[in-house]
Structure 1
Amino acid sequence: MLSSVPRPPASSSGSLWRNLLTYGLIAGFAIWCVVGFHHDLSKISLAPLVAGWPAIVMAAALSLLNYALRVVRWQLYLSRLGHSLPWRFVSLTFMSGFAFTLSPGKLGEMVRARYYQPLGIPVSGLMAGFFVERLLDLLAMILLAVAVLAELQAYRQALWVAVGLVVGLMATLALVPWPKVAESMAGHPRAGSRLFNVAQSAVAMLGSARLFLKPGILVMGLSLGLVAWGAEAIGLKLVGDVISTAPLSLSSAMGIYAIAIIVGALSFLPGGLGSTEAVMASLLYAHGYQLPEAILLTLVCRLLTLWLAVLIGWCCVWALRGQR
């Protein structure tokens, strides 16, 4: 029952300082951008955004669709773990992780696990679901980027690194006998030490990940990811058509968005900050956008995807804290 879920523990002082450091770095990065690009920023006109506000609203709606489809996938994973929970609770807990998406590899999103532990859902299963979710998101981005592979010569190396990472992880999950590894580790002389416990948790997570790699749920998860991330790429095209007269095809918008997110993920920076924006702006510039237009479109896109998610995440955290 939803009412049986206790309030999550208050954040420690260490977590507070980590949050302050993260947002301090973000503020510093923003100031650096303003100083470094003040000449181009001064040429930015917001008039096209005002005139084309319906496209902005539609792009925001597509971002919300992205979140909704990923909630559906998370509910599917919870069902595979043997737990059928109310949609409202699943939606709030899943999106609460967005509040901590500004973490390397988005690992902070695993904070949602604290809401499920009182319900008896093992952390290893939740971590496995999160791991496969990230893996399928990366695979979806690779497939979207392939749409304009010929135009992405400078970023082919990053794309191949992502492909190698996905293939390697998939092969590792499928071929390694994780239950036997866990069994052998249980009888190891060093079992019980802190580092060994971390290794055992990782092995349990990787073993549980196989639950989500069966053909049916794997195809469903990947399909939902493709539609979800493709929706945000469509939003990039809609806003781009308002900001500039430079032609931007749907396939180009998907490729630009996907490769920018892939590079941001591989950079392991919080939320891909800096790397994602730099790649997206440079690709838009290569597609005929003036630099001020490319910067404006990049900022609007990130506002409607990354920062909208962070805002919704904190709203969900607040809503869950009110549950008793």
Structure 2
Amino acid sequence: MSYSPTGTTPPSTPLWRRALLYALFAGFALWCVLAFQRDLAQISLAPFKEGWWAVAVAAGLSLFNYALRVMRWQWYMRRAGHRLPWGFTALAFMSGFAFTLSPGKVGEMVRARYYVPKGVPLSATTGAFFVERLLDLLVMIMLAAVAFAELQSYSHFLWVAIGLVLALLLSIAVMPWQRWATQLKTQRPRGWRAGLLTGVDMFAQSRQFLSPGLLLAGLAVGLVAWGVEAWGLHLVAQVVVPGQLTLPGAMGIYSIAIIVGALSFLPGGLGSTEAVMTALLYSHGIPMPQAILLTMVCRLLTLWLAVGIGWLCVWALRRQA
């Protein structure tokens, strides 16, 4: 991939790779059904006959999460000097969720292809994406700390995440990324050097989004956005197992599960996030069938809902093209 002043469009994922990825997901789902068939057979949806409102509210909280993150993304684009319509920003941002089932969610960077024609360089989009992911990880650490005493067995994941965030922030602040990017651009890099330039440019551009005011604002938005999703887990738990899971406990379980999923680098944290969430719910005294049910509902409303909306946004953007 060659570098150009306006940036480049990320290559689309080949159809066979996408088919293989979803086949792996289907295989994983089948394995879960076979491995937990006894517990799955004991799952009852009866609580939702009266408590359907909890699922509806939890879904609304997930939508609120997306709205807040779109707002934060618009702030970043304006900080980079690009004033874009809110409608386009929302569609382009949400389109990335269609590819959230990728290692580290890097597939969400596909949204960059919609920004390049608008005059937004790839470096600005990657820089904003990097800072967004970094702040989200920091928010998850803060939410996990709410119930740290209850999550001692997963504390090493928390310390790894803290170390990673501190190392990245320190590298952005200390390393001369902009000078290195300028030097690389003069060499007209090709092949792997172009990829190196993309990474260096991303770190160089990310500095503009880490000014004290914007950093604190972005962190505050992240705390509210992810906090309400964790609240959704608590609301659903109150219907399935009333009084069994506290709000701090729900926040700790949700955030630790997301952190482990992110550090596993599996597509969308699939498998690792579910396993940790189910195990933590079970450790809080929730019977395994109900723990599995809560995990399934939570992931449906926080992961698969986003993927579905993402594909709708991709379709809408393609119709506009």
TM-score interval w.r.t. the shorter chain? over 0.9
In 2, distance between residues paired with 1:318 and 1:185? 37
Q: Counterpart of 2:216?
A: 219
In 2, distance between residues paired with 1:131 and 1:177? 17
Per-residue CA deviation, residues 81-136 of structure 1 (Å, 9 max, x unaligned), is 11111111110110010000000000010000011101111100100000000000
Shift of 1:184: 3.8
Per-residue CA deviation, residues 197-238 of structure 1 (Å, 9 max, x unaligned), is 111121111100001000011011111111000010000000
Given that 1:246 and 1:287 are in contact with CA atoms closer than 8 Å, whether structure 2 keeps it comes out as no
Q: Aligned residues: percent identity?
A: 61
User: What SS does the aligned partner of 1:19 have?
Assistant: helix
In 1, distance between residues paired with 2:250 and 2:152? 16
Q: TM-score, length-normalised on structure 2?
A: 0.95
2:25 alignment partner AA: I
Gaps of 5+ in 1: 1-8
Given that 1:246 and 1:288 are in contact with CA atoms closer than 8 Å, whether structure 2 keeps it comes out as no
Q: Pick one of 221, 225, 229 that aligns with 2:226.
A: 229
Per-residue CA deviation, residues 22-61 of structure 1 (Å, 9 max, x unaligned), is 1111100000000000000000000012220011100000
In 1, distance between residues paired with 2:306 and 2:317? 16
In 2, distance between residues paired with 1:165 and 1:61? 32
Q: TM-score, length-normalised on structure 1?
A: 0.94
In 2, distance between residues paired with 1:186 and 1:303? 44
Shift of 1:187: 5.6
In 2, distance between residues paired with 1:239 and 1:25? 29
Shift of 1:247: 2.1
Q: Counterpart of 1:208?
A: 205
User: What SS does the aligned partner of 2:320 have?
Assistant: coil
**In the alignment, does 2:279 pair up with 1:278?**
no
Given that 1:260 and 1:276 are in contact with CA atoms closer than 8 Å, whether structure 2 keeps it comes out as yes
**In the alignment, does 2:29 pair up with 1:30?**
yes
Given that 1:124 and 1:205 are in contact with CA atoms closer than 8 Å, whether structure 2 keeps it comes out as yes
Q: Counterpart of 2:71?
A: 72
- Give the direction of change, closer, same or farther, for the CA distance of 1:208–1:170 in structure 2 (3 Å limit): same
**In the alignment, does 2:125 pair up with 1:132?**
no
Q: Counterpart of 1:252?
A: 249
Shift of 1:261: 0.2
1:181 alignment partner AA: W
In 1, distance between residues paired with 2:200 and 2:51? 51
Q: Counterpart of 2:3?
A: none
Shift of 1:16: 1.1
Between 130-139 and 79-88, report the one with greater CA deviation: 79-88
Shift of 1:276: 0.3
User: What SS does the aligned partner of 2:14 have?
Assistant: helix
Q: Counterpart of 2:101?
A: 102
**In the alignment, does 2:83 pair up with 1:93?**
no
Q: Counterpart of 1:141?
A: 140
Q: Counterpart of 2:284?
A: 287
Q: Counterpart of 2:19?
A: 20
Q: Counterpart of 1:5?
A: none
Could you say what the CA RMSD is over the residues aligned between the two structures, in angstroms?
1.4
1:177 alignment partner AA: P
In 2, distance between residues paired with 1:183 and 1:287? 53
1:231 alignment partner AA: V
Per-residue CA deviation, residues 126-172 of structure 1 (Å, 9 max, x unaligned), is 00000000000000000000001111111000000000000000000
Shift of 1:246: 4.6
**In the alignment, does 2:157 pair up with 1:196?**
no
Q: Counterpart of 1:51?
A: 50
2:190 alignment partner AA: S
In 1, distance between residues paired with 2:270 and 2:185? 40
Shift of 1:262: 0.2
Q: Pick one of 225, 233, 238 that aligns with 2:235.
A: 238
1:80 alignment partner AA: R
**In the alignment, does 2:319 pair up with 1:319?**
no
2:199 alignment partner AA: A
Gaps of 5+ in 2: 1-8
In 2, distance between residues paired with 1:182 and 1:245? 55
Per-residue CA deviation, residues 271-295 of structure 1 (Å, 9 max, x unaligned), is 1011000100111111110000000
1:90 alignment partner AA: T
Given that 1:101 and 1:108 are in contact with CA atoms closer than 8 Å, whether structure 2 keeps it comes out as yes
Count of residues in correspondence between the two structures: 312
In 1, distance between residues paired with 2:201 and 2:195? 10
In 2, distance between residues paired with 1:281 and 1:290? 10
